[in-house]
Each structure stands twice: as C-alpha cells, then as structure tokens.
Chains A and B, each alone.
Chain A
Amino acid sequence: MNLNFSNVDRFCNDINMADDNPVIDLSNVTFFNTFALVYLGMFLRYHNSQGKSFKVVVPQNTAARNYLARQNFWSRFNFRPETITAEKLNRFTSSTSLNDIVDIEKREGIAEDIMFKILNVLRGNRVSVNTNLVAELICEIVDNFARHSECTLAAVAMQYYPNLHHIVIAVGDCGIGIRASLTSNPKYSHMVDSPHCEVAMKAFEPLVSRLPEGGTGLMEARDGILKLGGGLTLATGDGYVIIREGECKLGTMACDLAGVQMSFSIPERS
C-alpha cells in the first residue's frame, strides 16, 4: 500500500482510538509520500498531546521501514518504545532529503534556516528548478506556520525524487487550523461554522488573514507553485484544497485532524 494524500485520512480514521495504546499498523505500507508522512506525524503528535501513545507495527517493506528511520520518524513522535527499538537504531542518511522531519520552532529566523537547509539539498543535487523562487515559497510557508499555528511545533519534510524529476515539500502542524485562525478576525467571524474546506479556500484570497491589515501568504504560495508548474495540497480540520494546473478542488477528508497540513510538488525543468 502506498500511503499518500488519497488514503492517509482514511488510514488515520480507521485507527481504534478507544484503545489505551492504539495500534498503528504500517505493516503493509510500501511507500510513504511526503504529505502522508507529515499528516501521519501530526495525527500522532496531536494525540500524543492528548495523552495517547501508540503501538506500532512497522512496515515489512525494508525500504519503507528505512525511510521512516531516516526521517527520524520514531524519535519525533511518541510510540511505545519497545515496539520500535530495532528500527530506531537504523538511521541512515541520503543527500536527497533533509534526513529528518524538521521541527519548526517559534523562533526568529526559523523560516530562513529551513529555507537555506533545503536550498543546500537542491543545490547539492543540482536540481533543475528555479531555486530562488522555491526558496521564497519555503520561507513564506514556514513563516506562515511559525506565525499562525498557535502551537509549539510545526514540522517540515522534503524529498527530492531524482528519477521522477520533482521535489516535494510538506509542512504541517496540529494547531488551531485555518478556520479558527481566520474567524478570530471579526471580518470573517461569520464563517465560524462554515466547512473547513470553504474557509481554507477563502484563505487563498488576497488580503484574507486573521490580521487586520491582511496577508498574502497563501495566495503568494499558490501563485508561485502554479508558476513553477507544480501543485499544492492542503488539509485542515476535515477539509482539503488541491490546486494544480490552474484548477482548484476542495472537499472533505475522512479524518478531522487539528491544524494544517500541506505539501507542494515542483517538477524539474525539462
């Protein structure tokens, strides 16, 4: 099974949260896409914060298991340690990712730090993308998460797929989400009961922000990604927005997860 945007919400929704130590059965997962990795991470982090710790059944597939180890997945989230000890020791690195799900702390310069780390990966691999614009996008999105999520930690992961000629960057948090954030501005308080996906879509409009002077962050991210021929996927609460090839689709996720999780994919220039 490939765990990706299309099924990670159902995967999370099927976990029996009534158990004292719910089981995360990853045994059949053979591939984690970057969005799914961050979404699952934020699902775990949210429930960790509610006092839950999880038992995990690790992937049988060696590549998938090693990928989680490389991304420091086991150390970032709170599992019952006896279920994963062997894998925890199995860290290795690669030049095509950050080799970590990097936490976004609320501190000055965090967006720039992450931007430069990702630029190093892109330049080190001679990735054929407009690196300045990609860097700008990363900085914009990470800065938005740091400023708006109202939670201690957000996280970012990136992966370059040299054979598939594209990069994916995923960012997530389990904070208050777009609806609660935007409707804290009296101008948008009428949307407090609107579907998450509709409020998320609203947040892509210019000057729509919880801040009185308005912001342009998501709109700039959207336009920059489209300019680079890429696509964007965003989930918040039980809503999602997909923007790709000049089209925008929105709808409902199977899982209602706190915060915002998003990823964007940029193809290499042919």
Chain B
Amino acid sequence: MKSIHISELSNICATRKRAQEASSRLQPYLKSGVVEIDLDSVEILSTSFLDELILQLMKADSIEKVIFKCSTSIIEDKLARILGIRDAKAYYRFRNGRIHEITPKPLEPLKATFVATKPASGRQRSKASANIK
C-alpha cells in the first residue's frame, strides 16, 4: 500500500479548487492500488477541501481505494460529517491503529423562526471610541 502525505497533493488544503487539483494528482497513485493519505501536520485542512476531495474520488469511483490517516479526532469528525451528507463510505486509520470504516454522522437541523421585527445587533456598542483601536 502506497502512503503519501496530503502536502504532496496540495501545499494548501483550504479550498475546493485545491482539492480538485489534489484529486488529479492522486489519480495516478490509485491506478496502482490502495493509497493511504496522511492528513497529519497540516495547518489548515478545511471541510470544503475534504468534501471536494471525497466528491472527486466518488466521481472517479475510487473512494474505497483511499484510507485517510490522522492522529486527531477532529479530522475524523469532519470526514464523518461529510460522509453523512454525501451518503458515502470511506476508510480511516487513527494513528497507527487498525483501519476502520468511518461512521457517517447525521446533521442536526437548525430550527428557524420568522420574526416580524428585526432584532438589534448581537453586540450593541456603547462607546463611540470603540472604532479606534
């Protein structure tokens, strides 16, 4: 199994555009089999980036050939949210542990209320001088 660090696919992991480029760079590796992508030690790893990467892998029918590896549960949580939304499955390795399927996480809907009168701003200002800092 080939293992590569995400920075080899994209030096900044923040936008969808970056994820599309990363996915293109990943495709040649996937032709040889399963690839483990190490997501550790990345300053910014946005949910949009991961969502787009997963979306591109789904489109290429290769999501099941990828194992995401990370040592923080924050990343697993992000992946679980995305998989819940996209109704997809993917595999994950926490640190050097066993590979497991990520359990998709359902999202809780936010209840909205229509209000006839526009409420005041959340943080009303009391000092005019607050504009100069």
Contact = CB atoms under 8 A, between A and B. Distances in A.
A31 interface: yes
B130 interface: yes
B130 A163 contact: yes
B116 to A, nearest CB: 7
B99 interface: no
Interface residues of B, number: 40
A66 B132 contact: yes
B102 interface: no
A220 to B, nearest CB: 5
Main SS at interface, chain B: loop
Given A132-B43, A246-B110, A143 B16 contact: yes
Interface stretch (A16-24, A180-188, A200-208): A200-208
A204 B123 contact: no
A224 to B, nearest CB: 8
B128 to A, nearest CB: 4
Contacts of A250: 112-115
B15 A143 contact: yes
B12 interface: yes
A244 B112 contact: no
A216 B44 contact: no
Contacts of A63: 128-129, 131-132
Interface residues of A, number: 66
Given A206-B107, A251-B114, A140 B128 contact: no
Interface of B: 12, 14-17, 43-44, 46-48, 51, 55, 82, 85-86, 107, 109-125, 127-133
11 contacts: A31-B131, A33-B123, A33-B125, A66-B132, A67-B131, A108-B17, A139-B46, A161-B130, A231-B122, A242-B122, A247-B110
Given A111-B14, A206-B107, A249-B114, 10 more contacts: A4-B121, A4-B124, A63-B131, A108-B17, A139-B46, A139-B48, A213-B55, A247-B110, A250-B114, A251-B118
Interface of A: 2, 4-6, 9, 30-33, 35, 61, 63-64, 66-67, 94, 96-97, 108, 111-112, 115, 132, 135-136, 139-140, 143, 147, 159-164, 166, 197, 201, 204-207, 213, 216-217, 219-220, 222, 224, 231, 233, 240-244, 246-254, 265
